[in-house]
Amino acid sequence: MAYWLMKSNPAFFGIDDLQRLGSDSWDGVRNYRARNFMRDDMRVGDKVFFYHSSAKPSGLAGIMTVSKESYPDHSQFHPEHRHYDPVATEDEPRWYMVDVTFEQKFTDVLPLRELKCIPALEDSLLLKKGCEQLTVIPLEPEHWRAIMNMAQVLSLLPDDVS
């Protein structure tokens, strides 16, 4: 099992939307590095932090699980869609997505400012200069554990979640 962090602007799709739906596709990723993570490395069962970006505050909102491995992102083929890519074809897609399933909503957002205070994250892509725009970020198991520990310290998880 691998660990990830995926960012979404909650004005478009947030943890509450995923909780209501139960499961959904994670489409619209238009960064090649992030696409490659989803296409090449994500597997069913991988754990993912849902990160609210462009929010006040930006930070972790909950946990989801990869429930379907990568497949072509349908939005790239539709001219009326905001994620349309005129170069992509069904025979040669450029963009991929995965499906995710809701697991847990934090009682409050774990803000980026708190994440920056976790020493174990100093070497993570999450805090690495130049990676701020990545919407899909791999995490090492020790990064996942450190974040979960911080969430428990801040009482963001119910007692029965670890």
Length of the chain: 162
Dihedral-angle region of residue 26 (phi above 0 means left; psi in -120 to 50 means alpha; beta otherwise): beta
Q: Is residue 162 part of a domain?
A: no
Q: Is residue 159 part of a domain?
A: no
φ, ψ of residue 24 to 5 degrees: the values are -160, 165
Percent of the chain with pLDDT over 90: 87
CA neighbor of 13 nearest in space, from 140, 100, 133: 100
Q: Is residue 161 part of a domain?
A: no
Three-state secondary structure call for residue 108: strand
Quote the DSSP letter at residue 18: H
Q: Is residue 160 part of a domain?
A: no
Q: Is residue 57 part of a domain?
A: yes
Domain range holding 31?
Answer: 3-153
Average of per-residue pLDDT across 98-121: 95
Number of compact structural domains in the chain:
1
Q: Is residue 158 part of a domain?
A: no
pLDDT over 60 (residue 30): yes
**Band of residue 50 on the pLDDT scale cut at 50, 70, 90:** very high
Q: Residue 66 sits in a domain of what CATH number? A: 3.10.590.10
**Band of residue 73 on the pLDDT scale cut at 50, 70, 90:** very high
pLDDT over 70 (residue 160): no
CA neighbor of 131 nearest in space, from 141, 121, 117: 121
